[in-house]
Amino acid sequence: MYRYLVKRVLLFAPTALIAVFIIFLIMKAAPGDIVTILVYGEEGGSGPLSESQALEDKLREEFGFNRPLVVQFSDWIKKLAQGDLGESFAQRGRSSITVIGERFPRTLELALATIILTFVWSIPLGVLAATKADTWVDRTIQVLSLGGLSVPNFWVATLALIFLAQWLGWSPPIGWASIVDDPWMNIKKMFIPVLILSYSQGAPLVRLTRAQMMEVLREDYVRTARAKGMSEAVVIYQHALRNSVIPIFTMLAWDLGRLVNGAVLIEVIFVIPGMGSLFVQAIANRDFAVIQGLVLINVMIMLLINLVVDVMYGYLDPRIRYT
């Protein structure tokens, strides 16, 4: 186990370096120029050409855009090694890590609340659908999960807001409230976004749990457990579900990684100032330093989650050995 863990940790460095290099190239190839926007504005601006050109040259010198790409990449790597993601181009005087750090806890709260709620309802429904296969209960659960798979969560969010406002005469509170400063308002504002995201994330998990359970319930050891007189709850949860948990756990971890990286549309619709909405703003403002920082953090989060998932496999299933 320890040798495997060391190997996986050592793989972090080359994988992260490749990711950093690709991110850097994509940002340099992306259309738009933050210097042009700062000097001339979105519409091209006006003013004395000589002064504008002088300001443009000064900003390119300040940002380092006038140096060769190899030198720019080397400087960025050196800053990353020191934990510096660079200065935000759009929010002058503020570092990218500070800008991202303000948004990360909000997205993390949204992601954790969504995953916990998803775990609470989706896996029991999947188990119920498998144990009641081909009955009206199973068909009802499959229809509900199919709706979550078919309808985009931003469409569900839009319909929910319209329905609540026009049919019930109640406009749910949107925006953000700190869970530390006002816990009750935080719950009220986060409830509907978490509910919608949980429905979207839990739908495929219900179907996966059902499929895994249907396969395991046909195994000989399950029939043997029943023949020994074990209760149905013990057979289902200690034998069948335990041997179905690896793909379920993998999907939950993958969903957590995607949510931590930012539920972009939900954050925009419900005005949650998280990492997803920051990404949209950074793209609109051509704030490449923040975009690079966000993408890099997202890559690191997914690498870390993959490492944790691989290590947890050995604990979830004793048959897996890291040799």
Query: What Cα–Cα distance (Å) separates residue 223 from each residue in 140, 228, 233?
Result: 27, 9, 14
Query: Which amino acid would we find at residue 317?
Result: D
Q: Which strand (E) or helix (H) includes residue 249?
A: helix 245-260
* Amino acid letter, 236: I
What is the residue type of 269?
Answer: I
What is residue 43's predicted lDDT score, i.e. its pLDDT?
Answer: 46
| Distance of alpha carbon 131 from alpha carbon 138, whole angstroms | 8
CA distances from 247 to 123, 206, 258, 313 (A): 12, 12, 17, 10
Rounded Cα distance, 126 and 204, in Å: 10
What is the reported pLDDT for 208?
92
DSSP 8-state secondary structure symbol assigned to residue 262: -
pLDDT digits (tens, 9 = 90+) for 7-49: 777 777 788 778 878 877 877 776 666 677 667 665 444 444 4
Q: CA 106 to CA 126: how far, in whole Å?
A: 30
Residue 263 Ramachandran class (φ > 0 left, ψ -120 to 50 alpha, else beta): beta
For residue 49, what pLDDT is reported? 47
CB 59 within 8 A of CB 38: yes
Residue-wise DSSP of 14-66? HHHHHHHHHHHHHHHHSS--HHHHHHH-TT---S-HHHHHHHHHHHHHHHTTT
Which residues lie closer than 8 Å to 133 by C-beta, 6 or more apart?
214
Q: Angle between the 288-316 and 275-284 helix axes, to the nearest 10 degrees?
A: 150
143 token code pair: 């229809």
Half-sphere exposure of 178 (CA within 13 A, CB side): 4
Give the span between the Cα atoms of 293 and 183, in whole angstroms.
30
Which domains does the chain show, CATH number per domain? 32-69 (no CATH), 103-274 (1.10.3720.10)
d(CA 16, CA 18): 5
Q: Quote helix, strand, coil % in the chain, to nearest 5.
A: 75, 0, 25
Cα gap 132→134, rounded to integer Å: 6
**pLDDT confidence of residue 283:** 82
Angle between helices 96-131 and 275-284 (to 10 degrees): 130
Q: Label residues 123-138 b or e (16+ Cβ within 10 Å = b).
A: bebbbbbbbeeeeeeb
**Cα 222 versus chain centre, distance:** 36
Low-confidence ranges of the chain (pLDDT < 50): 43-49
Whole-prediction pTM? 0.81
Q: Are 168 and 279 in contact (CB under 8 A)?
A: no
Per-residue pLDDT at 120: 92
